Chain A
């Protein structure tokens, strides 16, 4: 069965430092997509980054990069040069292979707090 696991309920990081948020996934399907979303206190889910299972290179979007290790089934999010505004809840998610790429399975989330 498909599953997303985020083992870190909460994380702290010092401002300007880098932080890695862990995500492991489980699927037997060779075709899937991996996503990270940010949920600030306002509640809105903000798309951060996407990685396709066949992508050869790790995805990067500004200060966000996805450390995709297919053999380990991990898709960790790396945030470089943390900012106070990065404090939020972060969700890792996976799209199923049925072709409906908007149907996502989410992890339980990691709360990140950036300290000044």
Chain B
């Protein structure tokens, strides 16, 4: 069974440009989460999808970030325009149910904004 996959693994862009990160959750997992780790800081929750609906987006830093999950399958996280402080590793995770909350994480997408 394929795990959570994220693309790209690393993206380097200039300030003001746009980047779109993609996450493919484990097949059948209704819950999809985005997290972010900025250098030297804790991993922070960004948002949560249940199927195609945004359940909780309280962690989204500002309106430069847009997350979508069309059809309740894969998800994209777009940053437009990117700022220097957006640099970090963006993790996607999925889970099948609200049981123990065990999340299956991807390997992360490292974003570097120059």
Residues of B near any A CB (own CB < 8 A): 3, 9, 31, 33, 35, 41-45, 48, 55-56, 89, 91, 93, 95, 98-108
Contact = CB atoms under 8 A, between A and B. Distances in A.
A109 B91 CA distance: 15
Contacts, number: 69
Contact of B93 (A95, A102, A105, A109): A102
Interface in A65-116: 91, 93, 95, 99-109
A91 B108 CA distance: 15
Nearest to A46: B105
B59 to A, nearest CB: 8
Interface in A31-68: 33, 35, 37, 42-47, 50, 52
A42 B91 CA distance: 13
Interface residues of A, number: 26
A101 B99 contact: yes
Contacts of B3: 44
9 contacts: A44-B3, A45-B91, A45-B93, A50-B101, A50-B102, A91-B43, A101-B99, A104-B35, A107-B42
